[in-house]
């Protein structure tokens, strides 16, 4: 097996996300063949080398990716010092060493991916990927077009720069409340709630209905399911190897002479086909 970076090997084995694996290495909690390694980028062969984290030997696992409909009141972390229920408590029976892909607020329900594939998790949470996250937002009262336009162009929520443009439109509205559908491509802390506060809206319900265009439709609160082969293929095509997709869909320019020849050739083929058809009918 080819050599790979130690943090990538830990992520591939399901130990942690790649970022968390880097922290484990720099904290001196990783050994390779009995030697503590603290330098990021150290190469290793997972098939031959003995890798330990916190004194335990790392054993590679089959990659697992689950979609959960996270309930409200469940914290999105591996463990909680305050003893609150975590998303991992809901999947202990699965056996694999899973961790959440990104975060979903304690008071927010909805779509959350869990995996032991650190490389996939790293790709999906990297800011440059701009992974789409779609929410249903219920706010009190009515929402004006001016407010929606602020969300679409960027809102000052007290950070160094405004939020990135969001897709936002009304799904339902009456005198008492409005349902919005909002799609973000960045992941700041409590972003939708802060955008609402900054534009004078009060949220009464917030639910993420899809992550990376993978929907929780027909998935009950607290339940999870494995991703389909098609969903996994799309995730890896669009986010782990997006350059491959771009190359696949790049069209080569065609000059006018070549275009005319192609059109004439097509016409000639159709004429020949019609002549053959008439000949067969006569006989």
Active site residues: 105
Rounded to the nearest 10 degrees, how much is the dihedral formed by the CA atoms of 210, 212, 213, 218?
Answer: -40
d(CA 271, CA 212): 48
Token pair for residue 246? 């771009």
The closest alpha carbon to 29, from 58, 63, 61, belongs to 58
d(CA 184, CA 172): 20
d(CA 186, CA 3): 33
d(CA 235, CA 230): 9
d(CA 69, CA 270): 54
Rounded to the nearest 10 degrees, how much is the dihedral formed by the CA atoms of 219, 133, 239, 150?
Answer: 170
d(CA 137, CA 203): 7
The closest alpha carbon to 239, from 168, 133, 108, 162, belongs to 133
Residue 280 CB partners (closer than 8 Å, separation 6+): none
Q: At what angle do helices 18-26 and 118-125 cross, to 10 degrees?
A: 110
d(CA 29, CA 68): 30
* Radius of gyration (C-alpha) of the chain in whole angstroms: 26
Token pair for residue 36? 């503590």
């Amino acid at each position: 097996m080819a050599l790979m970076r130690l943090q990538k090997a830990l992520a591939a084995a399901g130990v942690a996300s790649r970022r968390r694996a880097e922290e484990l290495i720099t904290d001196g909690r990783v050994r390779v063949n009995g030697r503590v390694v603290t330098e990021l980028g150290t190469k290793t062969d997972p098939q031959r080398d003995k890798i330990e984290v916190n004194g335990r030997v790392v054993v590679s696992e089959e990659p697992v990716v689950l979609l959960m409909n996270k309930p409200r009141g469940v914290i999105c972390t591996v463990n909680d010092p305050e003893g609150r229920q975590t998303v991992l408590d809901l999947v202990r029976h699965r056996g694999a060493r899973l961790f959440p892909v990104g975060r979903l607020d304690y008071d927010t329900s909805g779509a959350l991916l869990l995996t032991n594939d650190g490389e996939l998790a790293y790709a999906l949470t990297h800011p440059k990927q701009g992974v789409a996250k779609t929410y249903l937002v219920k706010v009190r009262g009515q929402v004006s077009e001016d407010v929606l336009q602020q969300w679409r162009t960027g809102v000052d929520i007290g950070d160094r720069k405004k939020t990135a443009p969001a897709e936002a439109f009304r799904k339902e509205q009456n005198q008492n409340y409005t349902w919005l559908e909002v799609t973000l491509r960045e992941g700041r802390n409590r972003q939708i709630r802060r955008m609402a506060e900054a534009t004078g809206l009060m949220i009464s319900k917030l639910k993420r209905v899809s992550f990376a265009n993978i929907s929780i439709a027909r998935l009950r609160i607290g339940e999870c399911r494995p991703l389909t082969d098609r969903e996994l293929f799309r995730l890896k095509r669009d986010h782990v190897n997006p350059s491959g997709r771009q190359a696949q869909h790049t069209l080569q320019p065609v000059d006018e002479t070549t275009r005319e020849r192609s059109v004439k050739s097509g016409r000639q083929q159709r004429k020949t086909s019609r002549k053959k058809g008439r000949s067969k009918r006569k006989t």
